[in-house]
């Protein structure tokens, strides 16, 4: 039964007029009359007695009018109970450091504003670690990178960004080309045990770039950008949603001849018992990406894990 028809019926009884009830609901009188006929068919009896432009409840209509308010309250309570899973409870979320230092705080701020009754537990790790945790059910979802293989049908994936490589360099060296900088300046390495670092290594080899000196190798993109800002060298990094220190001592330079990019998004199991909350989180993530002005990325998979 369409519960709105019951509300229309009660308003018709209150006003004594199909036309007045229709006016208050911003409907046509014909539409309200059709709703009343539908109710009468469902209950198998006449509910309204019509006399000119006025209507009055029949004995059956009186009985329905007496029980309908409680019925509507019961249905509203049932609807709240059925949908309560998404409004309260917990959500365990895995994340890579790149997300934790960029988009995730804004995503969580929106999520908590929409679902203040949900407590979120965060666990950071590499993409491979959080992927395995989602697979094993110890995490509900993960904000991470697309794995280096096709996901099984048990998983779902929402793409947020596709990230190519850029070069971070001290501002006073901005007059040199990216290849000149890489061949003459110390390189601050992004960890080669991660897919992002491996992607960078493949890029350097493909372009036959021999690095003169390597001063540091680390897994924190935030720390790498700070080191470039301090004049310690240049760095090839994924073009993430981090707030790079542009306008200070660092410039971001596009790299020529790129063929790879890494895909950043949200991963979860289709069969998750907390699917309603996960979908709300995904909606929040997509909204944040749109608000920040990031274009909807493509669908080409990356060559491997990268953090």
> Looking at 74-171, which runs of residues are DSSP E strands?
88-95, 117-124, 141-145, 155-163, 165-170
- Name the nearest CA neighbour of 256 among 240, 232, 236: 236
Confidence at residue 40, expressed as pLDDT on a 0 to 100 scale: 92
Q: Average pLDDT in the 228-237 region? A: 92
**Long-range CB contacts for residues 44-50, cutoff 8 Å, separation at least 24:** 47/9, 48/12
Q: Average pLDDT in the 272-280 region? A: 92
- Among the ranges given (91-95, 170-174, 248-252), the one the predictor scored with the smallest mean pLDDT: 248-252
Average pLDDT value for the chain: 85
Q: Average pLDDT in the 208-236 region? A: 90
| pLDDT tens digits along 143-201 | 998 988 888 999 999 998 888 899 999 999 989 999 999 999 999 999 998 888 888 99
Confidence at residue 81, expressed as pLDDT on a 0 to 100 scale: 58
Residue 187: strand pairing partners = 214, 234
The larger pLDDT score, comparing residue 303 to residue 146, is at: 146
Residue linked to tokens 């950043």: 264
The structural domains of the chain, ordered by start, are 3-84 (1.10.10.10), 87-162+263-291 (3.40.190.10), 165-254 (3.40.190.10)
Token pair, residue 93, equals 């979320």
Instruction: Indicate whether 223 pLDDT > 70.
Output: yes
| pLDDT tens digits along 5-23 | 888 899 899 899 999 988 8
Confidence at residue 210, expressed as pLDDT on a 0 to 100 scale: 87
CA 228 to chain centre: 32
| pLDDT tens digits along 29-47 | 888 899 899 999 999 999 9
Confidence at residue 71, expressed as pLDDT on a 0 to 100 scale: 85
Q: Which helix (DSSP H) or strand (DSSP E) does residue 281 occupy?
A: helix 275-291
The pTM (predicted TM-score) of the whole model is: 0.62
Instruction: Indicate whether 118 pLDDT > 70.
Output: yes
Rounded Cα distance, 194 and 126, in Å? 8
- Among the ranges given (225-234, 252-261, 279-288), the one the predictor scored with the smallest mean pLDDT: 252-261
């Amino acid at each position: 039964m369409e519960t709105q028809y019951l509300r229309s019926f009660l308003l018709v009884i209150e006003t004594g007029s199909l036309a007045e009830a229709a006016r208050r609901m911003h409907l046509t009188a014909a539409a309200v009359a059709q709703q009343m006929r539908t109710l009468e068919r469902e209950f198998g009896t006449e509910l309204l007695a019509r006399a000119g432009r006025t209507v009055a409840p029949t004995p059956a209509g009186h009985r329905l009018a007496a029980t309908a308010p409680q019925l509507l309250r019961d249905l509203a309570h049932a609807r709240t109970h059925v949908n309560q899973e998404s409004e309260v409870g917990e959500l365990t979320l895995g994340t890579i450091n790149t997300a934790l230092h960029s988009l995730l705080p804004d995503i969580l701020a929106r999520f908590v504003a929409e679902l203040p009754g949900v407590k979120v537990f965060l666990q950071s790790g590499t993409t491979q670690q959080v992927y395995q945790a989602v697979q094993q059910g110890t995490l509900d979802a993960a904000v991470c990178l697309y794995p280096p293989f096709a996901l099984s049908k048990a998983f779902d994936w929402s793409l947020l960004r596709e990230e190519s490589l850029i070069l971070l360099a001290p501002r006073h060296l901005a007059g040199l080309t990216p290849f000149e900088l890489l061949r003459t300046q110390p390189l601050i390495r992004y960890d080669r045990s991660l897919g992002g670092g491996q992607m960078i290594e493949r890029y350097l080899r493909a372009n036959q770039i021999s690095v003169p000196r390597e001063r540091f190798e680390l897994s924190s993109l935030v720390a790498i950008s700070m080191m470039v800002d301090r004049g310690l060298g240049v760095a090839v990094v994924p073009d993430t949603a981090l707030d790079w220190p542009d306008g200070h001592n660092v410039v971001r330079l596009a790299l020529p001849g790129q063929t790879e990019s890494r895909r950043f998004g949200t991963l979860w199991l289709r069969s998750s018992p907390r699917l309603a909350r996960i979908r709300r989180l995904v909606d929040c993530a997509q909204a944040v990406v749109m608000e920040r002005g990031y274009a909807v990325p493509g669908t080409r998979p990356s060559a491997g894990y990268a953090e």
